[in-house]
Each structure stands twice: as C-alpha cells, then as structure tokens.
C-alpha cells in the first residue's frame, strides 16, 4: 500500500484555504498512485482552533469542508483530522477525531482518547475522550489509527490511566498511523522520535506519523513527519519548518541512507523564529514590520530574524536616542542596519521628553529623577513607533528577552509594546548564542553590540547588572524555576545564593501583571510565558 504523508501549513479558521490545500494534495497523491493520504490532527480547521470550537457555525463549516474533500476520495482514501459532534447526549459536545474518507464519503470517525490539557493544551475544554478505539480496515490492512497524545502515554510516568493502543492491539492491527499537532520546542524533535520509537518497539509494527508545519501566533509547528518500520528505524523523515509531501510504500520499508539530520539547537531556534514571524504576518495579511533599534544585542537579533523572515525591504528600524544614549549605541545600530540594507531613521526623543517634563513639572515639582523618567523615555519611544505603525502599516515587533520579561525589567507600554514578541522565550544567554550563530560566517551584528555590557541607557551610566544578577546566574535560576518548577528550597540545595534566589522569584511573581499585557511570544521552550503558563496576578506566593 502506498501512503502519502501530507505535512501542510494550515491557517486556523481559514476553511477555503485549508480545504484547497488538502484537495490539491489528494490529487497529487492520486496521480502518484497512492492508496491512502494522511493529513494531520484538526487539519480541516487548523490547530489550535481554541474557542472557535464553541460555535456551531464553525463546526458546521468543518463538516462542509469534509464533505467537499470526501468527493475527491475516489481511488484513494484519506485520513483527516477534524472536530466531530458528540451525539451521545452526555459529555463534552465534541470529539477530536480522525475521519476516514473513502468512495466519496466519510466512512468512519476514530476519536482521540487522551486529551492533553497542560501547558499550551486545552483539549478537555472542548472534547470528550473516547475510549472505544476501533481498528480501521482498508485494502487488506488493519490500521491502528490514533491522534497525537494517544501514543504519548508510554514509559514510566503515565499521565493517563488508559492507553488506547492497549485496546487496539488486541484487534490485531498491522500498522499504526498517528496524526498530530505537536508544537516545536527546542527539544521536541528528539522527544517525539523517542516516543514514536518506543511505540514501535512495544507494538512491533510500522508507524506513519503526520504533523503540522507552520506557526499559529505563538505556536510553531515544526513538521518532522515520519515513517518508521517495524524495527523502529526511520524510513522517511519529512522536512522541518516547512510544508512537505512524501510517499512511502508499506511493501518497501527499508531504511534510506541517512535520516534527516536535526540541526543544532540554536539553528533550530533560529529557523523557528523566522517561521514564526513569517506566518504571523502572512496569516494576518501584513507584510511590513518596524522596531526600535537600540544598538544593543536584543533588538539587533530581532532585526536580523525579521529581515530574514520578511525581506530587508519590509523592515524598518527606528533609532530613538535620548540624552542618555551613548554614541557607540547609535553607531552600532546604524552599522547593523547598513549591513542588512534595512531602512532606518534616527529620531531624537529629547524634545518630546522635555515637553513632557514641562507639562508634568507643576505636579512633580522638585521630586527627583526616578523610574518615572526612565519609563517616560521608553514610553515616548513606543508612542513614536506606534505612530509609524499606524501611519505606514508596519507591525511593531517587540524585542524583549525572556530574562527581562521574567523579572519585569522593562517598561509596560514602553519597550514591552509590540504585536509579536520574537525573542521573549529566549533567555539573555540564549540571545548571545543566537547572535553568535547569526555571525558565524560574517560580522552581521556589530561585535560591539555583542560584547559590551548590557544597558537600558535610561539614566547616566546605567548597567543591567546594577539591578539584576549576572545573566549566567539569573538565567540558571529562571530556567530552574520557570521550566523545571523548582521551588526556593530546591534552588538553595543546588547552590544558588539565598538572597539572589529570593529576589529573583519575588520579581518573577510580582511582575505577572506586566506579562499579562504583553504581546504573544514565539514559543521555543517547554515553558514559555503566555498561554502555556497561567499564573495568578493577585497571588501572594514567593512575592
């Protein structure tokens, strides 16, 4: 049996485009003599559809698309992810289903049993688990058809008391198909392979796996669909970070010479961020970006990534020096913009800053310069950037990194503004790694931006290290607290200084209110700020 694996970039709720893409792939597979084509989880509406699933109209459109697609399924069958109504009269309104399309009709639904409901996942919000898994019979094969999480309840610590493959295996399948919506994080490709191999090792049959490619706001789906033979060897591995289409013959599951090489962690992050920007803009119908370029490393990295995602001609940089900006910062920013061929303007904020000072002086009188005036500069910059954004239609990119977002070292409605946060899931130390990666063949980012001590330049001779621990230490504490959920006692036992730990955790927790109002952050870690991390604002814990 020839199986086509269709790894596509869907757009949530864009039924016309998704349906077209699916139909084009079916035609292509049919022309190549395929018996079956497999699409990913909830392909019909895109993933994650979130609360659109609560609208009957949205579900109706899924059914209409499925019927339209089914008409293409003659001399070929398709497996296609879609939401399906629960008509049992009890439980949630929907199932998360794999529809089997054949002979011009939807023949059967195979519903998901295990509904991820952690981190960025909310599936039990919408779907009822279905524990009655049934084999799919087609062309002499007995297919164990499962959906993403269904295969992940394997190994030592099991998140669910039940595994659907245990029900399916007694029905004597001879191959497994899993359709997925498995978002990228920097370790996910390896983890995913391990999980798939574990299933093959346990159930001893080939496995065909189809994931999404493409970004949906903060979530980046990295593709990497694959076919494994019964020995757990990868027969075919689809490209990462792009659409791909591959045909595998179940009668010839020999290992090809090399499996696709997973690139370095930093390269993967780079590629993920480029895709994240590209899809955010294209799916919202925007082409042009703008950002504030300070001469520091964060905005430098964002500018490079943005230029690669959108083209240099579509990115605009504003240099917005205040009286506290150093000349080398301006020079470094100019040099970078010129290296990239990105258009830039230099706009001094001193006059506007003085204007605010005059307006406020009757009220502030002789009160000393403090964080108010620091924030004022950051907010004036945001107002100027947003004015350009409104006038010329450029979307503002946010350039905050995860370390500063974590501890609240940023100005709300100032440098925390932007439609999309590009590096908000990279700790400062990871931003350095990415800068070095960008510079691996040539000095694109001026070396000075990388080596100088980080500074917000909002008061004379300011350094980040005046307010924060050194980034190596800060990032290590943050990683353990945020990604690994280590508490204060565990952190102390790891050797971190008590005062530093206590200050850091307090800053993280008390700045939840700021993060609540920031842009979506492209997610590259296993625990990003945003939809995957839900914290109380008025909470009083370690704060």
- Which residues are the active-site residues? 41, 112, 148
87 binds its own copies (CB under 8 A): no
Least gap, CB of 38 to its own copies (angstroms): 24
Are the C-beta atoms of residues 151 and 41 closer than 8 Å to each other? Answer: no
Burial 238-260 (b: 16+ CB within 10 A, else e): bbbbebbbbbbbbeebeeeeeee
Q: Which of 141, 288 has the CB closer to its own copies?
A: 288
Can you tell me which of 170, 485, 493, 495 binds its own copies, judged by CB under 8 A?
A: 485
Rg of the chain on CA atoms, in Å:
26
Could you say which residues in the range 196-215 bind its own copies, by CB under 8 A?
215
Burial tier of 75 (Cβ tally within 10 Å: 0-12, 13-18, 19+): exposed
Can you tell me which of 63, 138, 160, 437 binds its own copies, judged by CB under 8 A?
A: 160
Q: How many residues bind its own copies (CB under 8 A)?
A: 96
Can you tell me which of 256, 343, 359, 361 binds its own copies, judged by CB under 8 A?
A: 359
Least gap, CB of 221 to its own copies (angstroms): 13
Least gap, CB of 541 to its own copies (angstroms): 3
Least gap, CB of 236 to its own copies (angstroms): 30
Burial tier of 183 (Cβ tally within 10 Å: 0-12, 13-18, 19+): buried
Could you say which residues in the range 35-64 bind its own copies, by CB under 8 A?
46, 48-52, 54-58, 60
Query: Which of 227, 230, 168 has its CA nearest to residue 205?
Result: 230
Least gap, CB of 512 to its own copies (angstroms): 9
Of the ranges 29-37, 114-122, 196-204, 459-467, which one interacts with its own copies (CB under 8 A)? 114-122
Can you tell me which of 217, 329, 430, 504 binds its own copies, judged by CB under 8 A?
A: 217
Can you tell me which of 63, 109, 413, 437 binds its own copies, judged by CB under 8 A?
A: 413
Can you tell me which of 193, 283, 335, 523 binds its own copies, judged by CB under 8 A?
A: 283
Q: List the 244-249 sheet strands across, edge first.
A: 105-111, 94-102, 77-85, 36-38, 2-7, 244-249
89 binds its own copies (CB under 8 A): yes
Are the C-beta atoms of residues 82 and 97 closer than 8 Å to each other? Answer: yes
Query: Which of 220, 171, 222, 168 has its CA nearest to residue 192?
Result: 222
387 binds its own copies (CB under 8 A): yes
Q: Which of 71, 484 has the CB closer to its own copies?
A: 484
Are the C-beta atoms of residues 432 and 297 closer than 8 Å to each other? Answer: yes
Of the ranges 234-242, 374-382, 423-431, 452-460, which one interacts with its own copies (CB under 8 A)? 374-382
Could you say which residues in the range 425-484 bind its own copies, by CB under 8 A?
none
What kind and span of H or E run contains 430? helix 428-438
């Amino acid at each position: 049996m020839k199986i086509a694996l269709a790894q596509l970039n869907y757009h949530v709720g864009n039924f016309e485009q998704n349906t077209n893409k699916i139909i084009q792939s079916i035609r292509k597979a049919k022309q190549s003599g395929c018996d079956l084509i497999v699409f990913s989880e909830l392909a019909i509406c895109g993933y994650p559809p979130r609360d659109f699933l609560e609208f009957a109209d949205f579900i109706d459109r899924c059914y209409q698309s499925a019927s339209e697609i089914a008409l293409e399924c003659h001399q070929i069958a398709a497996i296609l992810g879609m939401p399906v109504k629960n008509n049992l009269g009890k439980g949630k309104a929907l199932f998360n289903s794999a529809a089997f399309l054949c002979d011009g009709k939807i023949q059967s639904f195979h519903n998901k049993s295990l509904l991820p409901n952690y981190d960025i996942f909310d599936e039990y919000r919408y779907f009822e688990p279905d524990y009655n898994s049934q084999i799919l019979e087609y062309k002499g094969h007995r297919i164990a058809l499962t959906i993403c999480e269904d295969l992940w309840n394997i190994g030592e610590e099991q998140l669910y008391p039940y595994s659907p493959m245990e029900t399916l295996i007694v029905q004597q399948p001879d191959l497994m198909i899993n359709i997925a919506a498995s978002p990228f994080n920097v370790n996910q490709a390896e983890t995913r392979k391990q999980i798939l191999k574990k299933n093959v090792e346990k159930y001893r049959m080939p496995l065909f796996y189809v994931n999404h490619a493409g970004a949906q706001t903060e979530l980046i789906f990295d593709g990497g669909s694959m076919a494994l033979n019964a020995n757990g060897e990868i027969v075919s591995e689809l490209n990462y970070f792009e659409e791909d289409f591959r045909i595998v013959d179940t009668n010839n599951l020999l290992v090809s010479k090399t499996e696709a090489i997973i690139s370095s962690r930093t390269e993967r992050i780079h590629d993920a961020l480029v895709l994240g920007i590209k899809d955010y803009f294209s799916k919202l119908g925007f082409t042009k970006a703008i950002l504030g370029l300070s001469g520091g490393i964060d905005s430098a990295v964002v500018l490079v990534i943005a230029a690669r995602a959108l083209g240099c001609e579509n990115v605009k940089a504003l240099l917005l020096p205040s009286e506290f900006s150093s000349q080398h910062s301006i020079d470094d920013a100019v040099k970078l913009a010129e290296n990239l061929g990105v258009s830039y303007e230099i706009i001094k904020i001193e006059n506007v800053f003085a204007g605010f000072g005059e307006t406020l002086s009757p009220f502030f009188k002789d009160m000393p310069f403090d964080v108010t005036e620091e924030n004022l500069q950051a907010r004036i910059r945001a107002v100027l950037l947003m004015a350009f954004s409104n006038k010329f239609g450029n979307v503002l990119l946010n350039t905050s990194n995860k370390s500063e977002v974590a501890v609240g070292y940023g100005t709300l409605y100032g440098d925390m503004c932007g439609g999309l946060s590009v590096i908000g899931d990279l700790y400062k130390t990871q931003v350095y790694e990415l800068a070095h990666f960008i510079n691996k063949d040539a000095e694109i980012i001026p070396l000075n931006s990388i080596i100088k001590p980080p500074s917000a330049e909002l008061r004379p001779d300011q350094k980040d290290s005046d307010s924060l621990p050194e980034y190596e230490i800060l990032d290590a504490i943050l990683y353990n607290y945020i990604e690994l959920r280590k508490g204060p006692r565990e952190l102390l036992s790891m050797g971190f200084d008590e005062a530093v730990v206590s200050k850091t955790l307090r800053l993280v927790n008390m700045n939840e209110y700021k993060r609540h109002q920031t842009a979506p952050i492209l997610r590259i870690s296993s625990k990003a700020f945003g939809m995957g991390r839900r914290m109380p604002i008025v909470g009083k814990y370690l704060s």
